[in-house]
Amino acid sequence: MTLETSIEFLKGIGPERAKFIKNVLGFTTVEDFLTFYPLRYIDKSKIHKIGDLSEEPEVEIQFKGKITDIQEVGYGKSQKRMTAKFRDETGTLELVWFRYSKWMKDQLPLNQEIFIFGKINHFNGNFSMPHPEIEIDEKKALSGTLLPIYPGSEKLAKRGLNNKFFQTVLTEITKNLHSLIQENLPENLRTQLNLIGRMHAFYHIHFPKDLNHFEHANRRLKFEEAYFFQLGYGLKKQHHKASAVGNPFPKIGSQFKNFYDHVLPFELTNAQKKVLKEIRTDMKKPVQMNRLLQGDVGSGKTMVALLSMLIALDNGFQSCIMAPTEILAQQHFAGISELLAETDVKVKLLTGSTKTSERKIIHEALLNGELSILVGTHAVLEDIVQFKQLGLAIIDEQHRFGVAQRARLWAKNKIPPHILVMTATPIPRTLAMSFYSDLDVSVIDEMPVGRKPIITAHRREKDRLTVFRFAKDEIEKGRQVYFVYPLIEESETLDYKNLLENYDHILDFFEGKNVTMLHGRMKPAEKEAAMNYFASGKCEIMVATTVIEVGVNVPNASVMIIESAERFGLSQLHQLRGRVGRGGEQSYCILMTSDKLSKESRTRIKTMTETNDGFKISEVDMQLRGPGDILGTQQSGVVDFKKLDLLSDGKIIKAAKTAVEILLKNDPNLQNPENLDLRNYYTKQYKSKNKWGRIS
């Protein structure tokens, strides 16, 4: 038997069944079975107390006690069942048999100390156990073995592929582990991290002797997955660093110094300083930087971006910063222009709606090097946009840009520019560590001082009047208010209608106040006008769709009312909330929902009311949606781990990452004899399948 042996040669399978298994499970080889891990294990070593039952436990459990009061209830064949009382010293449980024979009834050990084992049902406050397994022998009852339960389905079970079948097949396979499994981690690493051998891991993942053995096996297999995943990225990154030449920016010059000393309107946070240093260290080297900047909404990523661009400028290079929407690009442009007004740094804006005549001027100024900083949207990517010397390209809110677009930036200069990508909302650290391993990651984990945490509340339709009155009061105090509506219908026309109706209601209620509207159907110029109107403070209320989701900055706006909040995803809610709390005033976010909420919506709303921390929110988001959805479907296959859980296995991922870093530092080409097994395994498993080749 080898790992490649076809399953039809396994005992009890044969060609017919092999075909069926392939169709349903996609399994063709012994290896497929071996890596089909149990979903859970049944632990018979523990005795539970009836009095401790609070809700339905998920797994079968065991009790010790006595059966009393056997009864036959119901009439007719289909209705008839047998029940009995089961007591331990803490409570009573009903045992139920829907099918039984007289013989069975006679065999039931009455008033005698026994063990029962099975699933618990909870109904109308009563606990019952249907069809319990009964054991009189204490030794047998408590036999410590954990029984593996495999992920199955009714369809499989009908064709005889039930749990027992998997247990049998795996019993046979695990008898051959000696010849099937070779070690793939160096011994010193295993000793150092206390990882059990590979063969033992495979045995004890299927048939753990006890919980301790299971945990060791589980940890070892998880580590292995994380390790080779990181190794794939590590090798790629190493290759990139060796081959990706970049322009070194050795100096800090007058533009940066002047700005830092005389213009910068606030002290950088320590986190901003730390991140800026990381960027500066990267850009000093003659190697292209590829860095991801993670930071919560409002943590001040833009300032870090601007300072980095000034470093490029001091070294004779141009920069560009790209944003996913026109509004955001305009805001960046307005903000950066204002900050640089007193300097001689030239900045321009290039978007889809830039006029042809203006475009011409920009193209020329880029080519002759007069223009130092270009702010824009996707328009920057067009081939016609050429630079004299592009040294740094920054992508804001990078999740809106594809990998291909990132790659197009590389081609904008003979020696590719340094790349800095920034996230809109944080993604869980473990995910960033794994998925973005091809990027170096910097984190701004601190907010500028003096920010008042936003107060978030959940309100329902019946509270509407109170909410509106509250908004009115805030407006009277000089604040501004956002109302955000989701795209409710598939049809854009209906959404639009919906928005207009709500707009009318708001006009009515807030009579005498200025209300403006912002939605996706408006032309760029109209959007800009609406934004400027609101930003100027002359208009108190902005009624919008999620167009305003990203980046918009109006510090005097202190109330965000999100309608039908249950329809928004968590990261979207967090982004929207981030539009307030940008000034010195206490800000509020009010989540309006209908009365009936799904469990998931409830979790989302509750999370929002409980925390302002984007990292925490993204972790809940990942729990709810899974890593694939967070990264976008295009990338979901990449995080298709068998054992590793990106959310809860942060420790293991970190350990694997560190181990790989040390490995590649000491033996970058995996030439040392002690790394031979590892190299062979990697080459066979990963490189040939080019599993991680999808990301660049």
Residues in contact with ligand ADP by CB under 6 A are 266, 268-269, 272, 295, 297-303, 448, 553, 582
**Residues 632, 644: Cα–Cα separation, whole Å:** 19
Based on CB atoms, which residue is closest to ligand ADP, 30 or 589? Answer: 589
| Angle of the 650-666 helix axis to the 211-243 helix axis, nearest 10 | 50
Residue 514 CB partners (closer than 8 Å, separation 6+): 533, 538, 539, 540, 541
* Shortest separation between residue 505's beta carbon and ligand ADP, angstroms: 31
* Shortest separation between residue 535's beta carbon and ligand ADP, angstroms: 12
Q: Which of ligand ADP, Mg ion, none does residue 9 bind to, with CB < 5 to 8 Å depending on kind? A: none
Q: Which of Mg ion, ligand ADP, none does residue 297 bind to, with CB < 5 to 8 Å depending on kind? A: ligand ADP
Nearest to 428 by CA among 639, 223, 586: 639
Q: Which of Mg ion, ligand ADP, none does residue 300 bind to, with CB < 5 to 8 Å depending on kind? A: ligand ADP
Q: Which of ligand ADP, Mg ion, none does residue 61 bind to, with CB < 5 to 8 Å depending on kind? A: none
Per the CB < 8 A criterion, the answer to whether 283 and 249 are in contact is: yes
Based on CB atoms, which residue is closest to ligand ADP, 272 or 442? Answer: 272
Q: Which residue is listed with tokens 């509020």? A: 588
In the stretch 518-557, what mask flags binding to Mg ion with x, by CB under 5 A?
---------------------------------x------
Based on CB atoms, which residue is closest to ligand ADP, 222 or 582? Answer: 582
Type of residue numbered 219: R
**Residues 359, 353: Cα–Cα separation, whole Å:** 10
CA 113 from chain centre, in angstroms, equals 50
Based on CB atoms, which residue is closest to Mg ion, 148 or 551? Answer: 551
* Shortest separation between residue 550's beta carbon and Mg ion, angstroms: 8
* Shortest separation between residue 396's beta carbon and Mg ion, angstroms: 6
Based on CB atoms, which residue is closest to ligand ADP, 294 or 675? Answer: 294
Based on CB atoms, which residue is closest to ligand ADP, 254 or 270? Answer: 270
* Shortest separation between residue 543's beta carbon and ligand ADP, angstroms: 23
Q: Which of ligand ADP, Mg ion, none does residue 618 bind to, with CB < 5 to 8 Å depending on kind? A: none
**E strand or H helix at 557, and its extent?**
strand 557-562
Q: Which of Mg ion, ligand ADP, none does residue 456 bind to, with CB < 5 to 8 Å depending on kind? A: none
Q: Which residue is listed with tokens 């223009």? A: 371
Q: Which of ligand ADP, Mg ion, none does residue 237 bind to, with CB < 5 to 8 Å depending on kind? A: none
User: Around 486, how many Cα atoms within 13 Å sit in the side-chain half-sphere?
Assistant: 16
**Structure tokens that stand for 3 in this block:** 């790992």
* Shortest separation between residue 321's beta carbon and ligand ADP, angstroms: 11
Based on CB atoms, which residue is closest to ligand ADP, 120 or 303? Answer: 303
* Shortest separation between residue 335's beta carbon and Mg ion, angstroms: 10
CA-based end-to-end distance of the chain: 38
What SS3 state is found at 438? Answer: coil
Question: Which residue's beta carbon is nearest to the bound Mg ion?
Answer: 551
Distances (CA, A) of 573 to 311, 432, 473, 562, 623: 35, 21, 24, 8, 16
Instruction: Return phi, psi of residue 556, to 5°.
Output: -80, -10
* Shortest separation between residue 437's beta carbon and ligand ADP, angstroms: 23
Q: Which of ligand ADP, Mg ion, none does residue 428 bind to, with CB < 5 to 8 Å depending on kind? A: none
**Residues 366, 347: Cα–Cα separation, whole Å:** 10
Angle at 553 between CA 547 and CA 554, to 5 degrees: 105
Q: Which of ligand ADP, Mg ion, none does residue 147 bind to, with CB < 5 to 8 Å depending on kind? A: none
In the stretch 315-334, what mask flags binding to Mg ion with x, by CB under 5 A?
--------------------
Nearest to 331 by CA among 561, 547, 481: 547
Based on CB atoms, which residue is closest to Mg ion, 551 or 581? Answer: 551
Residue 252 CB partners (closer than 8 Å, separation 6+): 280, 311, 314
- Site residues (CB under 5 A) for Mg ion? 551
